Chains A and B, each alone.
Chain A
């Protein structure tokens, strides 16, 4: 015999609109072992919580059922009420009649009836619940940050300044990310390198940061508080411990590779640093461009290196680090616009994408900061196309958020550096950040022409060879615009890094349909993920500008700190265990577990479960043919009782 209290929440009208809540409470009172049943407007409010606490005492309740919103919302709230009233927190049951009932119907009959069925099942199960004890684990105080763009840099610095040891893993040979490619940043037009390079240097110098460039995460094991991360150091063919960054090698090298840094606009050497302020400022060898690797002879770099740092025999190496939390900040790529044949990118040399133009403006770029076309001419007229592949159901439905603003920045820089006429072809101008509308006004006053109409086509000019004709409708006048220009700048959609699938698999992250990592809650947990202890920041979550990215980096660092500042962590008690009396060896559980918790104990000849890894999903219990696995809080008896309760309806 148990003594159950049922508390039905109205959630304002959220539930009460499509479920007759007082009828539900009256119904609850008729169910076996229910000694009190009440409904209340907002059960999560202080008076609501107090009501439950009082009833626990007054009616000597030993089970509590709250019929309200999803347990993701308030399970913790009500568990605390139970604990505060001296009841084990696992004797609480939440019946979700909001997300699973009232929000999915307009029919009050259906709603009430389904709510009753769910409640009937919950009462049947609650009677069989057992008190459980939470587990406490040790927490490793270090943090892994994946991605060395501005998000990863900022998050690493925050954590390091808070006294935590950080491993910053970057797959390229330098940190800095896309921000290091820019010349100016909107809306203030401050020099990107001037504000970024001090931070890059701070990362290198910080005693708490272990900088791991040209590295990739290759394996992730463990769980919140205790991750084991294997990191691959790709062979650089240069021993960075010996190298003194004299860069004599890069001068002599005859090899030619494509400069990723300059977006392929120019070549670089085979042994190279990507740009002068690269961190670390030590070179690597690009195997695919190196004469020695391609033809078997050369070794000029080796001859000029006084430090004897060149090592053609170097291999990839692997190290494992232990951390308590992880921040993923892997950033973005631009969409490849070659598939959009109407714009002629890749076909006409006068058509550029946004990152290429960033490099043209940059004094460390391929043109030394002069705006000249691929044929060396200075453009006389320039068209900037917004929303290329963004806001486009055929490509990426999202707004890439930064293109309006960087297109304005481009217009300003074109005006500053050339005498060209500049045209913006836009659908809607979006300038919703601090100082952004003011920046928009400023650029309008610089006499940039705004044509409200999406660029429709780019063609070669028949009359003037080498020039381009841009076609679009000016939707304000309804006129078809045919505009001769020398340069077209495409603002392509921002998309996740091409290796997002590998990152998602390694860290068990879910993604949206385009591959952006999913946050735990779009408003209230934007930096957490469904994997405990793994946080996300920056554009890998969704397109955003530098201020928002930096804000997220601070936030993710704070989130990670909430874990690693503690010595111990309390974990859910709802895990699976193997009945010690069983002799179970089929290993079905080992095969199905996504977390690697069950293992086969060779010595004993039985399967066992590492409860530290178990998330309590119950997959193992469901495939166990002998019923030897007990999923705590979801035992077979409990689940069957709930199903019978449901099916009575």
Chain B
């Protein structure tokens, strides 16, 4: 194969115009690649992606899907390069030319046609709630923003239910959105479909405006980050883990069940931790559970590993040996924990899959913080867990 290449600066210009301005700042030191969780296990090389972008070289499309937007490189970059913006811009420029991988087509297609990534019927968005939980109306204080994943994915519906139960117990005035809303669009933006993202966003904003929404509670850190960073409007957005920590601290909710020495470790979701800087609240909740021994994995907090589900990764196939969620489960088990707690529906999905494919689901359980806190109150949601893969 020839190694001759000619810089194609029009392409580089197009990437910069699509939001990848930061291309210019990079001096190719390799801190990003050295930090990137994918480097040790796949061919994906984030520095090369930037380099190809700087010169507009052919072949960039081969490896532009490797990034899960975990933000580890951005935090470490000595040049302040917003690498996620570059990845998003490159995907935007190239997927406009029909370069979207097969596995992402269903996901994007479903968002275009149904406003959610799970091919769910928009009318059934709130079916999980039955008649049990209130719709948001302008007289309510908080909108509990239900991520599409907790509305449609059978495993993650438990998160919606647990959160709703806790909100009821907290005495807050709250409600869920009507079926007029759609996906927040976070993952879609990261796979590069800016146009459709804007459409989804504007529909949600219309809903927020029509209902006079000012305060939003999210269960998914992805919705949290995108409302805060990409919606351009100053809502008070809070993640449920922050509220839970407050309730536990103030005594509004008092965990009572004794877990009898249960060893729990916690995985920081990238979009809650590095993207939104919420590190302590989830830990405070776990540490408040009676009889729980909380242990940290070596890579935690700002150094946390990625589950691989961000940036469209949730919908992409990865070969065995190239799955971050597998490594993370192994790291969790290495601490002796029998519960891996987290606070993100994407992480839940990735870890549930991995624990089954690794055949360790009888050794380590994957739990959301909301599920654990509810369990500590000895309240059951009483729903059989349906396999995620059934979808």
A-side residues, CB < 8 A to B, are 341-342, 387, 391-395, 427-428, 452-457, 459, 471-475, 478, 480, 482
- For A471, give its contact among B27, B34, B298, B302 (CB under 8 Å): B34
**Interchain CB contact under 8 A, A454 and B30:** yes
Q: Does B33 make an interface contact (CB < 8 A)?
A: yes
Q: Which of B28, B30, B39, B77 has the most CB of A within 10 A?
A: B30
Q: Does B45 make an interface contact (CB < 8 A)?
A: yes
**Interchain CB contact under 8 A, A454 and B80:** no
CB distance from B127 to the nearest CB of A (A): 45
Q: Does B158 make an interface contact (CB < 8 A)?
A: no
With A456-B35, A457-B35, A480-B39 in contact, is A394–B80 under 8 Å at CB?
A: yes
**Interchain CB contact under 8 A, A473 and B39:** yes
- For A475, give its contact among B28, B40, B298, B303 (CB under 8 Å): B28
With a cutoff of 8 Å between Cβ atoms, the chain B residues found around residue A452 in the complex are: 30
Interchain CA distance A394-B80 in the complex, whole Å: 7
With a cutoff of 8 Å between Cβ atoms, the chain B residues found around residue A391 in the complex are: 27, 78
- For A454, give its contact among B31, B40, B45, B303 (CB under 8 Å): B31
**Interchain CB contact under 8 A, B30 and A473:** yes
With a cutoff of 8 Å between Cβ atoms, the chain B residues found around residue A475 in the complex are: 28-30, 33, 47
With a cutoff of 8 Å between Cβ atoms, the chain B residues found around residue A387 in the complex are: 29, 78
Interchain CA distance A387-B80 in the complex, whole Å: 15
With A453-B30, A472-B34, A480-B33 in contact, is A393–B79 under 8 Å at CB?
A: yes
Q: Which of A394, A452, A480 has the most CB of B within 10 A?
A: A480
**Interchain CB contact under 8 A, B34 and A393:** no
With a cutoff of 8 Å between Cβ atoms, the chain B residues found around residue A474 in the complex are: 30
CB 8 Å contact bits of B26-50 with A (1 = contact, 0 = none):
0111110111000110000101100
CB distance from A494 to the nearest CB of B (A): 16
**Interchain CB contact under 8 A, A473 and B33:** yes
Q: Count contacts between A and B, CB distance < 8 Å.
A: 64
CB distance from A6 to the nearest CB of B (A): 44
Q: Can you identify 28 A-B contacts, CB atoms within 8 angstroms?
A: A341-B303, A342-B76, A387-B29, A387-B78, A391-B78, A392-B78, A393-B77, A393-B78, A393-B80, A394-B78, A427-B27, A428-B27, A453-B29, A453-B33, A454-B31, A456-B30, A456-B31, A456-B33, A457-B35, A473-B33, A473-B39, A473-B47, A475-B29, A475-B30, A478-B47, A480-B33, A480-B39, A482-B40
CB distance from B321 to the nearest CB of A (A): 15
CB distance from A140 to the nearest CB of B (A): 47
Name the residue of chain B whose CB is nearest to the CB of A396. B78
CB distance from B80 to the nearest CB of A (A): 4
Interchain CA distance A418-B298 in the complex, whole Å: 33
CB distance from B279 to the nearest CB of A (A): 13
CB distance from B189 to the nearest CB of A (A): 25
Supply 7 further A-B pairs (C-beta < 8 A) apart from A392-B78, A454-B78, A475-B29.
A387-B78, A427-B27, A453-B34, A454-B30, A456-B34, A473-B33, A480-B40
Interchain CA distance A393-B81 in the complex, whole Å: 10
With a cutoff of 8 Å between Cβ atoms, the chain A residues found around residue B298 in the complex are: 459
CB-CB contacts below 8 Å: B189-223 with A: none
With a cutoff of 8 Å between Cβ atoms, the chain A residues found around residue B27 in the complex are: 391, 427-428
**Interchain CB contact under 8 A, B47 and A456:** no
With a cutoff of 8 Å between Cβ atoms, the chain A residues found around residue B45 in the complex are: 473, 478
**Interchain CB contact under 8 A, B34 and A457:** yes
**Interchain CB contact under 8 A, A473 and B79:** no
CB distance from B64 to the nearest CB of A (A): 16
CB 8 Å contact bits of B177-198 with A (1 = contact, 0 = none):
0000000000000000000000
With a cutoff of 8 Å between Cβ atoms, the chain B residues found around residue A393 in the complex are: 77-80
**Interchain CB contact under 8 A, B28 and A456:** no
Interchain CA distance A21-B239 in the complex, whole Å: 63
Interchain CA distance A230-B182 in the complex, whole Å: 72
CB 8 Å contact bits of B5-45 with A (1 = contact, 0 = none):
00000000000000000000001111101110001100001
Name the residue of chain A whose CB is nearest to the CB of B46. A473
Interchain CA distance A42-B55 in the complex, whole Å: 43
With a cutoff of 8 Å between Cβ atoms, the chain A residues found around residue B33 in the complex are: 453, 456, 473, 475, 478, 480
CB 8 Å contact bits of B295-313 with A (1 = contact, 0 = none):
0001000110000000000
**Interchain CB contact under 8 A, B34 and A455:** yes
Interchain CA distance A454-B79 in the complex, whole Å: 12
Interchain CA distance A393-B39 in the complex, whole Å: 24
**Interchain CB contact under 8 A, A454 and B29:** yes
Q: Which of A342, A395, A471 has the most CB of B within 10 A?
A: A342
Name the residue of chain A whose CB is nearest to the CB of B28. A475
Name the residue of chain A whose CB is nearest to the CB of B31. A454
Q: Which of A452, A454, A482 has the most CB of B within 10 A?
A: A454
Interchain CA distance A471-B31 in the complex, whole Å: 10
Interchain CA distance A427-B34 in the complex, whole Å: 13
With a cutoff of 8 Å between Cβ atoms, the chain A residues found around residue B303 in the complex are: 341-342
CB distance from A430 to the nearest CB of B (A): 13
4 tightest Cβ-Cβ pairs between the two chains A and B:
A456-B34, A453-B30, A473-B30, A392-B78
Name the residue of chain B whose CB is nearest to the CB of A472. B34
**Interchain CB contact under 8 A, A456 and B76:** yes
Name the residue of chain A whose CB is nearest to the CB of B75. A394
Interchain CA distance A392-B30 in the complex, whole Å: 13
CB distance from A247 to the nearest CB of B (A): 47
Q: Which of A341, A395, A427 has the most CB of B within 10 A?
A: A427
**Interchain CB contact under 8 A, A472 and B79:** no
Name the residue of chain B whose CB is nearest to the CB of A481. B34
**Interchain CB contact under 8 A, B34 and A454:** yes
Interchain CA distance A427-B45 in the complex, whole Å: 17
Name the residue of chain B whose CB is nearest to the CB of A474. B30
With a cutoff of 8 Å between Cβ atoms, the chain B residues found around residue A453 in the complex are: 29-30, 33-34
CB 8 Å contact bits of B105-133 with A (1 = contact, 0 = none):
00000000000000000000000000000
CB distance from A484 to the nearest CB of B (A): 15
Interchain CA distance A392-B77 in the complex, whole Å: 8
With a cutoff of 8 Å between Cβ atoms, the chain B residues found around residue A482 in the complex are: 40
Interchain CA distance A392-B75 in the complex, whole Å: 12
With a cutoff of 8 Å between Cβ atoms, the chain A residues found around residue B76 in the complex are: 342, 456
**Interchain CB contact under 8 A, B39 and A427:** no
Interchain CA distance A264-B33 in the complex, whole Å: 34
With a cutoff of 8 Å between Cβ atoms, the chain A residues found around residue B48 in the complex are: 478
With a cutoff of 8 Å between Cβ atoms, the chain B residues found around residue A427 in the complex are: 27, 29
CB distance from B48 to the nearest CB of A (A): 6
Name the residue of chain A whose CB is nearest to the CB of B51. A475
CB-CB contacts below 8 Å: B42-87 with A: 45, 47-48, 76-80
**Interchain CB contact under 8 A, B34 and A480:** yes
With a cutoff of 8 Å between Cβ atoms, the chain A residues found around residue B35 in the complex are: 342, 456-457
CB 8 Å contact bits of B233-261 with A (1 = contact, 0 = none):
00000000000000000000000000000
Interchain CA distance A395-B31 in the complex, whole Å: 15
With a cutoff of 8 Å between Cβ atoms, the chain B residues found around residue A341 in the complex are: 302-303
With a cutoff of 8 Å between Cβ atoms, the chain A residues found around residue B30 in the complex are: 452-454, 456, 472-475
Interchain CA distance A454-B303 in the complex, whole Å: 18
Name the residue of chain A whose CB is nearest to the CB of B41. A480
Name the residue of chain A whose CB is nearest to the CB of B33. A473
CB distance from B196 to the nearest CB of A (A): 33
With a cutoff of 8 Å between Cβ atoms, the chain A residues found around residue B77 in the complex are: 393
With a cutoff of 8 Å between Cβ atoms, the chain B residues found around residue A394 in the complex are: 78, 80
Name the residue of chain A whose CB is nearest to the CB of B40. A480
CB 8 Å contact bits of B328-346 with A (1 = contact, 0 = none):
0000000000000000000
CB distance from A478 to the nearest CB of B (A): 5
Interchain CA distance A342-B299 in the complex, whole Å: 10
Interchain CA distance A357-B33 in the complex, whole Å: 28
Name the residue of chain B whose CB is nearest to the CB of A395. B78
CB distance from A341 to the nearest CB of B (A): 7
CB distance from A204 to the nearest CB of B (A): 44
With a cutoff of 8 Å between Cβ atoms, the chain B residues found around residue A395 in the complex are: 78
Interchain CA distance A514-B28 in the complex, whole Å: 25
Interchain CA distance A478-B30 in the complex, whole Å: 9
Name the residue of chain B whose CB is nearest to the CB of A453. B30
Name the residue of chain A whose CB is nearest to the CB of B38. A480
Interchain CA distance A308-B50 in the complex, whole Å: 71
Q: Which of B33, B40, B298 has the most CB of A within 10 A?
A: B33
